[in-house]
Structure 1
């Protein structure tokens, strides 16, 4: 709609002004110059990746020019003015090119990498702490997990400093996240944790560009999101309008202008950014605009108005710097910074700009606007310029001291307890941790346990009574004088158990960051988490991402399988054994006996919190097993041989000559009594049955898969040949309380015929015997499978 003609009015001065305490105009000009260069570099990094390299596969390279552009002013205000070397920042996944551009200007990224985005050995698609060549504090890319990683890192550092006061200091833990990430449940599980409200070192900045991958978000409901943060105890700061347009709001008609812009639907606002400058006033006035509003807008040059309507808080560097100075250090803070997606690019505000690549002609225009020669896209800023001087100074200021690792800690290979009475592996875990404090106190001092409100039901009670519960602040124990209380719950800054709410995602995210303290601050921890095994899949993705990011830890799923028969189908786990086998940089364990649990736990702990280490996943149960079934050798040499086999993945329980073996029974975990009994019954029928107990189907598979490979072999690599001698073939029956395909690879070890018994259907509440019979993993089923393979 056209604007009615009116007498000309006085034009308005829209020169940006500074609020009290902000940087000088000269400083801001330097920061804006750097911001423009970062816009160019991030866009060029993506452009070269897509147009500057040969692509014979036809698979798009991709990148996110618009998503980087919306975050650039925020990032420049931080890296070139606000951060210290002690701060750690999580950067939203799609702003990785902006991060690399900034690191390049700071001297932290060699120019040779600027052409390698998404190429082998080059810059990763999303920030990667371990795979990128420059400084990346947190791996992001799993939406919603990256922002919370900084939160759990803050808590982990608090824990480290409370236990080891000499540990290096840390600054703020900052998360830069896109508004669409606030749809993720992981965000709100973390924000709602009661301990988080005490973490004043947390600062989140939300890039509120009101666009997602596919569309302009119709109703971002910012007030509701702000209220949710406030209810959780966070300070909330909103930067909606920049200082330039704010000056217009103070003029006659300005209140109506502000109201109109703020009540305008997101889609209408974004559409307004796409029209010619001389159409903007008419779109603002609409059909109901007052004369005062018309007068105000008619006095503004269209080009100037086009700049003004884009003047949002997230692009006003002076306003951002002011906001940082108002942060309350006593509680976490979130800044909602309104931005334009694609800010400064021809695609800004377009609903489909998420993965859009600006044209070659548009790249030339951007180069001209940035003062860059497109033939020399990576040329440095003029050496004598204030911008170059600031980059050099900030590069030096942000350089971090080298991390000094914890002196080597010797983890014993075994302990002294004799395991005689029937006991479950879950109960054995609790006993093991209690013994550890006595037999290996230095190791025990590095252990930190976590659980999502299941500490007592996963047998951590004894450990907690010995070490206490860690809390951000000391808390009074009102039940300290209760003589009938078995589990002591003294919370303070010196405990070694961290209890979270029933939120498995929080648990494993914290676990990953506790497992990264050795590489962040040089303090080794051995984090161990217990949760019910059926919920491992719920926590798998963030735990896997923590491992990808360098967090080494031990996760214990217990109780597991249908062995917890009275609990029924709601709490059974079926496919978790194969999850453990398939997870990179993790060893999956399922020990049957208490001695196996002790040996394998010590082996797992040896590998946590060290360069080149690995995580572990244990699957335990509450079924007590007679420990004499383990048939431990009495001779020390043979006992040590058993230990080596157990930590390599498994051992033979029968001692006959494998050449006489007619069938091999392979069992895992709690099912071993049925396997052993089946071998006895077969023996009564004149059939020699070998029994193999696997402590780690994962390690045995690795041994199988490495056979014939070229390279250095280590102890235990030949375990598959020890368990299944090539020259003594026999049919195999595998049995486990989990999905039977987990062990199906054993058919390929020697080419044997095989029957795989396991659980592949939902269960129901029952006795243990009924559960095993229902799923065909009882003794009778094992005997029947063996006889079937033998043709009887």
Structure 2
């Protein structure tokens, strides 16, 4: 573990009185020329809760606690595994002041905050001081049952609003939460509790993530005045000092997206010196200094700072700067060059009071990574840990003791009173949880004689709106500019499109237009730009409204199946954070042959099978789709212990004869079929499994070929059973559950479909990767052939594509004959 002892730590716990500085507005930057406007009356009650001296005292304690939480996990706890526990003391240090200022002066109970992953110890330190976390957890960072490495909404013991372990995704989550609350308020105004601001606290390196820019340029986001991002601009990433000055580029990109841009560069002491006679030279020197040089300046001994500042200057400027700096001792000068606005709590409080509530705001706060620690400014400080001696130094600077690290402020001290006031302001009352709509088992409509599962989705939503209006009222659909091509048109015509600000439909009187695109605050479809990350991120937040605000929504997101891979990481992370949704991937497979290989998906059935908290479905028939969709909708609002989960449906554009499903008419047999569909699969053969010479197993639209192959094999004297798989995920869980105590009927579905007393070789077939169903060989140890798509596709006809990939009827028949030795 790397330690740094080559430079002394120059710390400043703050000064009670600091000179006022001027502010120049360029993108509303706070720098050096015009006096700031006085705060509004609405700001005063919050700002009066703590003065600058008290805030600095609390910030120093937060820094100490955050650093000690990590220290205790690494040096204070037995580690029999020998694996580094880790933590991010330097990344936490740069956020300590920002978060203290926000929590103590601005934050309200109705606000929600996303904290950058590596600053989680700061969040826990604040929660501890505010009485929201017990002392017993402070020594259990990264331990089972303790504090999570990164903020986790579902796993941490204290208040965490957003899970942020995935860089970039956590930063954008408040944007989608704000949009979700807006939608909820429009749909259910009388029962939706109010919300405040939605803050994202993120590091500047997170702005490298594409998810950030996909979010800020979405047209709906520009109207979210409740969204505030605060960027910890420490100009370091994990491995390096960021080599060039990006701030102007970043400012311009946010401003172009209609965001308010506030830039906090210099603290009040530096600003005052810049404004003094001769200060312009110093300001120019500091402003033009490359990031790398500034970081090296921070690592220099105080005796070297003056000469490093004067180095490379012309004689006249050097003389002027030397005269300006002459009154300062080496230590004072070393402290002065560290006076950035992101560590000046008064500057931060002033900026928070000037946020424009009519549009999103980004605050760039210049900071030093590791501020106040012996590691500050070092290019390799990302995962560095303080030594025992350095912890002793920090304890002395913080008025603490290493032997008694968890001291709170006494209640009768100014800091104790400020924290008590903040705790009272931040205390959240429980939000009543409304029960979600009762989801029926089926809708009672018959599908068309021949239809695709994609078309059946559109029909399902229309039938739901007609037969179950109470359920339909909770449904919100969304798509990335593919609503019509994924068969959501009928639903949209009935419910309309939701938008923050309704827009005129200039094509409403066009008689040739089938699609009615009415954008109002009461619509139930949200159309996003072509950005799948935005889609699943918003779907996850829409799926969190029940736990956040007590009102359950049923989000259904539709996108082209091949592009699920783009959204896989944010989608998975939203599930980890508790945001459930239904995602429709359509059209899918090489069945989309004429579109070419770029649109022919192959691995989506396999990868979605592997995601925790998600059931993947690939129904072949419309009735199967209806039953599974209703079950999936019901499970969105259930606790995890009761079967709550998200769902993925892989649908096809290929029309299939619905008579092939042979749905029983007898009520008992029909219910049995429904149960089997939901369990993961059912037999389509008229004969019992005991008569199978070979068993053909298929999923999705390929069932047409599977059933045709069974007939061909029968004609060749080989009796073939047929199993229609509706959910590979459910079958796999069934196989896994066989060894568990208390086996349920659902967990035994694989034994019903593949009875141990009647072994037969298996041919599995998918318009997708054959790995998806390969596990079925383990149900009873059958010999197996797994047919599917293992190569990139090409433009062709459907029958040609099936032959190319070996999933056509002839290929299935040959596989059956090979396995039976015929």
Aligned pair 1:757/2:787, yes or no? yes
**Whole-Å Cα distance in 2 between the matches of residues 510 and 539 of structure 1?**
12
**Whole-Å Cα distance in 2 between the matches of residues 574 and 178 of structure 1?**
37
Equivalent position to 2:19, from 11, 17, 20: 17
Q: Displacement of 1:14 after TM fit?
A: 11
Aligned pair 1:229/2:254, yes or no? yes
**Whole-Å Cα distance in 2 between the matches of residues 553 and 439 of structure 1?**
22
**Match of residue 765 from structure 2:** 735
**Whole-Å Cα distance in 2 between the matches of residues 402 and 525 of structure 1?**
19
**Match of residue 486 from structure 1:** 514
**Match of residue 8 from structure 1:** none
Aligned pair 1:256/2:281, yes or no? yes
What does 1:180-219 correspond to in 2, within 5 Å? 180-219=205-244
Q: Displacement of 1:714 after TM fit?
A: 3.9
CA contact (8 A) 2:477 2:556 kept: yes
**Match of residue 719 from structure 1:** 749
Deviation string 1:610-644 (CA, Å, 9 cap, x unpaired) is: 32221000000000000000011111110111011
**Match of residue 159 from structure 2:** 135
Q: Displacement of 1:408 after TM fit?
A: 3.9
SS at match of 2:51: helix
CA contact (8 A) 1:559 1:620 kept: yes
Aligned pair 1:708/2:739, yes or no? yes
Deviation string 1:243-280 (CA, Å, 9 cap, x unpaired) is: 11111001122001000001000011111111122221
SS at match of 1:639: helix
**Whole-Å Cα distance in 2 between the matches of residues 276 and 590 of structure 1?**
65
**Whole-Å Cα distance in 1 between the matches of residues 411 and 498 of structure 2?**
51
**Match of residue 647 from structure 1:** 678
Deviation string 1:446-484 (CA, Å, 9 cap, x unpaired) is: 000000000000000000000000001111111111111
TM-score, normalising length: structure 1 = 0.97
Deviation string 1:565-595 (CA, Å, 9 cap, x unpaired) is: 1111110111111111101000000000000
**Match of residue 440 from structure 1:** 468
**Whole-Å Cα distance in 2 between the matches of residues 307 and 344 of structure 1?**
10
CA contact (8 A) 1:425 1:622 kept: yes
**Whole-Å Cα distance in 2 between the matches of residues 610 and 770 of structure 1?**
44
Q: Gapped runs of 5+ residues in structure 1?
A: 1-12
Q: Relative to structure 1, is the Cα distance of residues 447 and 301 closer, same or farther in structure 2, using a 3 angstrom cutoff?
A: same
**Match of residue 615 from structure 1:** 646
Aligned pair 1:244/2:265, yes or no? no
CA contact (8 A) 1:524 1:610 kept: no
SS at match of 2:579: coil
Deviation string 1:256-313 (CA, Å, 9 cap, x unpaired) is: 1000001000011111111122221211111323322110011222222211111101
**Match of residue 458 from structure 1:** 486
Deviation string 1:490-523 (CA, Å, 9 cap, x unpaired) is: 0011000000001101111101100100000001
**Whole-Å Cα distance in 1 between the matches of residues 417 and 276 of structure 2?**
39
Aligned pair 1:161/2:167, yes or no? no
**Whole-Å Cα distance in 2 between the matches of residues 517 and 26 of structure 1?**
34
**Whole-Å Cα distance in 1 between the matches of residues 350 and 290 of structure 2?**
28
What does 1:104-143 correspond to in 2, within 5 Å? 104-143=128-167
**Whole-Å Cα distance in 2 between the matches of residues 491 and 93 of structure 1?**
37
Equivalent position to 1:101, from 102, 125, 128: 125
Aligned pair 1:345/2:370, yes or no? no
SS at match of 1:717: helix
**Whole-Å Cα distance in 1 between the matches of residues 16 and 65 of structure 2?**
29
Equivalent position to 2:424, from 389, 396, 414: 396
SS at match of 1:126: coil
**Match of residue 528 from structure 2:** 500
**Whole-Å Cα distance in 2 between the matches of residues 762 and 229 of structure 1?**
39
CA contact (8 A) 1:281 1:298 kept: no
Q: Relative to structure 1, is the Cα distance of residues 448 and 24 closer, same or farther in structure 2, using a 3 angstrom cutoff?
A: closer
Deviation string 1:134-186 (CA, Å, 9 cap, x unpaired) is: 00000001111111000000000000000000200000000000000011100
SS at match of 2:656: coil
Q: Relative to structure 1, is the Cα distance of residues 17 and 48 closer, same or farther in structure 2, using a 3 angstrom cutoff?
A: same
Aligned pair 1:151/2:179, yes or no? no
SS at match of 1:395: helix
SS at match of 1:559: coil
**Whole-Å Cα distance in 2 between the matches of residues 657 and 303 of structure 1?**
88
**Match of residue 699 from structure 2:** 668
SS at match of 1:756: strand
Q: Gapped runs of 5+ residues in structure 2?
A: 1-14, 21-35
CA contact (8 A) 1:226 1:236 kept: yes
**Whole-Å Cα distance in 1 between the matches of residues 608 and 322 of structure 2?**
67
Q: Relative to structure 1, is the Cα distance of residues 113 and 436 closer, same or farther in structure 2, using a 3 angstrom cutoff?
A: same
| Worse-superposed segment, 275-284 or 573-582 | 275-284
**Whole-Å Cα distance in 1 between the matches of residues 721 and 639 of structure 2?**
39
**Match of residue 351 from structure 2:** 323
Q: Relative to structure 1, is the Cα distance of residues 70 and 450 closer, same or farther in structure 2, using a 3 angstrom cutoff?
A: same
Q: Displacement of 1:417 after TM fit?
A: 1.0
Deviation string 1:542-564 (CA, Å, 9 cap, x unpaired) is: 01000000001000100000011
Equivalent position to 1:310, from 338, 343, 346: 338
**Whole-Å Cα distance in 2 between the matches of residues 378 and 26 of structure 1?**
22
Q: Displacement of 1:26 after TM fit?
A: 7.0
**Match of residue 73 from structure 1:** 97
Q: Relative to structure 1, is the Cα distance of residues 402 and 714 closer, same or farther in structure 2, using a 3 angstrom cutoff?
A: farther
CA contact (8 A) 2:368 2:376 kept: yes
CA contact (8 A) 2:590 2:767 kept: yes
SS at match of 1:750: coil
Give the aligned CA root-mean-square deviation in angstroms.
1.3
**Whole-Å Cα distance in 1 between the matches of residues 813 and 591 of structure 2?**
20
**Whole-Å Cα distance in 2 between the matches of residues 239 and 281 of structure 1?**
25
CA contact (8 A) 1:117 1:124 kept: yes
SS at match of 1:59: coil
Deviation string 1:347-402 (CA, Å, 9 cap, x unpaired) is: 11111110000110110111111111221111221232111111122112101111
TM-score, normalising length: structure 2 = 0.93
CA contact (8 A) 2:129 2:419 kept: yes
SS at match of 2:230: strand
What does 1:330-369 correspond to in 2, within 5 Å? 330-369=358-397
CA contact (8 A) 2:49 2:421 kept: no
CA contact (8 A) 1:14 1:245 kept: no
**Whole-Å Cα distance in 2 between the matches of residues 420 and 263 of structure 1?**
71
CA contact (8 A) 1:518 1:610 kept: no
Q: Relative to structure 1, is the Cα distance of residues 15 and 790 closer, same or farther in structure 2, using a 3 angstrom cutoff?
A: same
**Whole-Å Cα distance in 1 between the matches of residues 783 and 612 of structure 2?**
29
Q: Displacement of 1:525 after TM fit?
A: 0.3
SS at match of 2:141: coil
SS at match of 2:779: helix
CA contact (8 A) 1:467 1:495 kept: yes
**Match of residue 634 from structure 2:** 606
Aligned pair 1:545/2:573, yes or no? yes
Equivalent position to 1:428, from 456, 461, 467: 456
**Whole-Å Cα distance in 2 between the matches of residues 298 and 311 of structure 1?**
18
Aligned pair 1:533/2:564, yes or no? no
Aligned pair 1:172/2:179, yes or no? no
Aligned pair 1:409/2:437, yes or no? yes
CA contact (8 A) 1:177 1:207 kept: yes
Q: Displacement of 1:609 after TM fit?
A: 2.8
Q: Displacement of 1:324 after TM fit?
A: 1.0
CA contact (8 A) 1:15 1:244 kept: no
CA contact (8 A) 2:341 2:348 kept: yes
Equivalent position to 2:406, from 378, 387, 390: 378
**Whole-Å Cα distance in 1 between the matches of residues 289 and 448 of structure 2?**
74
Q: Relative to structure 1, is the Cα distance of residues 270 and 24 closer, same or farther in structure 2, using a 3 angstrom cutoff?
A: farther
**Match of residue 609 from structure 2:** 581
**Match of residue 9 from structure 1:** none
Superposition misfits of 4+ residues, deviation over 3 angstroms? 18-26, 712-715
